[in-house]
Amino acid sequence: MGSKYTRGCCGWLIVALIAALVATAAMFAIMKRKPGGGSRHLKPLPVPGPPGAIDSKYGDALGVALQFFQVQKSGKLENNQIPWRGDSAVTDGKEAGLDLSKGMYDAGDHIKFTFPMAFTATVLSWSVLEYGDQMSAAKQLDPALDALKWITDFLIAAHPSDNVLYIQVGDPDLDHNCWERPETMTEKRPLTQINKKSPGSDVAAEAAAAMAAASIVFKSTDTKYSDVLLQHAQKLFTFADTYRGLSSESYPKLQDFYNSTDYVDELLWAASWLYHATGDQTYLSYVTVQNGQTFANWGKPTWFSWDDKNPGTQVLLSRLNFFGSKQISNAENEGLKSYRDTAEAVICGLIPDSPQATASRTGGGLIWISGWNSLQHATNAAFLATVYSDYMLSSRTAAVQCSGKYYSPTDIRNFAASQANYILGDNPMKLSYLVGYGSTYPQQVHHRGASIPADAKTGCKGFQYLHSSDPNPNIAMGALVGGPFQNDTFVDLRDNAVQTESSTYNSGTLVGLLSGLVTTSSVVQSFT
């Protein structure tokens, strides 16, 4: 009896000891997987192969988001899929002997601003270049290419000579004095151009970035069109760099709408895209050796937006540091390392439990920087985080270090997914901020065309539809509205443009974000 008990007791002690060891090992493994878990020896994750299974949530949302570009189109529509939209602004540019009818309205009004429109094209191109295979797997590549070309067709037409670019179609004062459908506009639509005497390096360089990036997108399917885009991009960059100045200084009225705070970020952004498009070392030297120290604000993370391209440039150029190139000199590599270090500082500011995490968030976890169009910065930041995490995965980079803590590509991707999920309804309001997605989304988007019945005869003064308490008669499919206040609340009123107005440039990065999350695959090491 005694010996039996002793053997049983020893057996249980052995079992308990093994269980304790297993539990300890499991806890250590969990600590390693937990964001910032303290291990500097995280193992690189496997490199993804071709696109895997489609996440239906993000796939459905991507299909909805892309429809907003159809809603925003100007000109004579082709294969129109939006029943309440029709041809509009078909004579834009006629006074200058140009066809500026294409392009897109920037938001809920009917002005065409080249600056945010070009930014939309740049980030759309970037999205296709990084995630075109994933878009294709989700059957959404063709709508993205269609939207992109509608903008680049406008940009080509808006650049009739080397040192002239049309940067605005329409008069904001006249436009904002009306509430009407674009199809019935009768107001004058004057043109605004930048040139040698009235420069606008910010807009010219952004247009150069857009056309350089788009030239890579179309290179494999339409070589002639790609070549035309690249020629325009190179000439516009030379124009922007030679005749320096802000468009809002040449035309002070622009300060009320798209008041760019600088132009050197656009010069770096454009040169970065031109390097990717051409492989010309001159452009790489421009952003590293020649102007990196002066223009790039290395070590000072900021927020990616239509105004500030620095974070985008930092992430874009970090791919050269991740994947390398034999043609890059030591001095250029030093500059690229500084871009990557700053990109990592951006990423460290986004991960919620990082020691460097920004406190600029809502209680629901959304990055929140500004009350007007609050979703802009969250969407842009999440897009950059997705791209950066995929660079890490594809280069077998195990982790980023944030003040002594280590974070894996999965941790970074989880942050990006949290922002996307918030947008799609996982928020305190239980509201999808993407119009047309889910069962509950804003009904009073601040959008002229959506708010007025298609058969209404309003003339210029259809303001009864702006102030109506009824839901919009037309759904602005894919519109990403401005977003919540910092306390996670949202007031769905058409008069509340701060929260309910949407914009094409928000949609550009949203498409990139959703395309990155819809499935996983390895990113290409070179765009060309």
Q: Closest Cα to residue 221, out of 99, 310, 296, 136?
A: 136
pLDDT for res 41:
67
HSE-CB of 380 using CA atoms within 13 angstroms: 28
pLDDT for res 5:
29
CA angle at 260 for the pair 256 and 265, rounded to the nearest 5°: 170
Give the model confidence (pLDDT) of 436-461 as tens digits.
999 999 999 999 999 999 999 999 99
| Domain interval for residue 421 | 56-518
Q: How far is CA 367 from the centre of its chain?
A: 15
* Mean pLDDT along residues 289-298: 95
Above 70 in pLDDT, residue 262? yes
**Domain CATH for 388:** 1.50.10.10
* Mean pLDDT along residues 37-44: 67
Interatomic CA distance for residues 513 and 107, integer angstroms: 20
pLDDT for res 2:
36
232 is catalytic: no
Above 60 in pLDDT, residue 24? no
Residue 496 placed within a domain: yes
Query: What one-character-per-residue DSSP string does 227-270 give?
Result: HHHHHHHHHHHHHHHHS---HHHHSGGGGGT---S-SHHHHHHH
Q: What residues form DSSP beta bridges with 112?
A: 169
pLDDT for res 42:
83
Band (34; pLDDT cuts 50, 70, 90): low
Higher-confidence residue of 32 and 39: namely: 39
DSSP category for residue 288: I
pLDDT for res 76:
98
Above 50 in pLDDT, residue 1? no
* Mean pLDDT along residues 217-235: 98
pLDDT for res 326:
76
Give the model confidence (pLDDT) of 191-204 as tens digits.
999 999 999 999 99
Band (528; pLDDT cuts 50, 70, 90): confident
Helix ranges (DSSP H) in 452-503: 463-466, 497-500
Residue 42 placed within a domain: no
Number of domains the chain is built from: 1
Higher-confidence residue of 493 and 22: namely: 493
Give the model confidence (pLDDT) of 371-409 as tens digits.
999 999 999 999 999 999 999 999 999 999 999 999 999
Give the model confidence (pLDDT) of 503-521 as tens digits.
999 999 999 999 999 999 9
Band (10; pLDDT cuts 50, 70, 90): very low
Residue 31 placed within a domain: no
DSSP category for residue 50: S
Give the model confidence (pLDDT) of 411-424 as tens digits.
999 999 999 999 99
Residue 113 placed within a domain: yes
* Mean pLDDT along residues 336-352: 98
Can you read off the two tokens belonging to residue 345?
């500082």
Percent residues over pLDDT 70 in the chain: 92
pLDDT for res 258:
95
Residue 178 placed within a domain: yes
- Give me the catalytic one of 110, 232, 446, 447: 446
Interatomic CA distance for residues 490 and 399, integer angstroms: 37
Beta pairing class for 191-194 and 112-113: unpaired
Contact between 51 and 520 under an 8 Å Cβ cutoff? The reply is yes
Contact between 192 and 168 under an 8 Å Cβ cutoff? The reply is yes
Query: What one-character-per-residue DSSP string does 54-101 give?
Result: --HHHHHHHHHHHHHHHHTB-BS-SS---TT---B-TTTTGGGT----
Above 90 in pLDDT, residue 3? no
Residue 439 placed within a domain: yes
pLDDT for res 75:
98
* Mean pLDDT along residues 33-41: 55
**Angle between helices 330-350 and 310-323 in degrees, nearest 10:** 120
* Mean pLDDT along residues 353-374: 97
Higher-confidence residue of 15 and 503: namely: 503
Interatomic CA distance for residues 497 and 189, integer angstroms: 23
Residue 429 placed within a domain: yes
Can you read off the two tokens belonging to residue 523?
């990113």
φ, ψ dihedrals at 303, nearest 5°: -105, 125
Residue 8 placed within a domain: no
Above 90 in pLDDT, residue 85? yes
- Average pLDDT over the chain, rounded to an integer: 92
* Mean pLDDT along residues 460-482: 98
Interatomic CA distance for residues 162 and 204, integer angstroms: 11
pLDDT for res 12:
33
Neighbours of 298 (CB within 10 A): 16
* Mean pLDDT along residues 255-282: 97
Contact between 145 and 217 under an 8 Å Cβ cutoff? The reply is yes
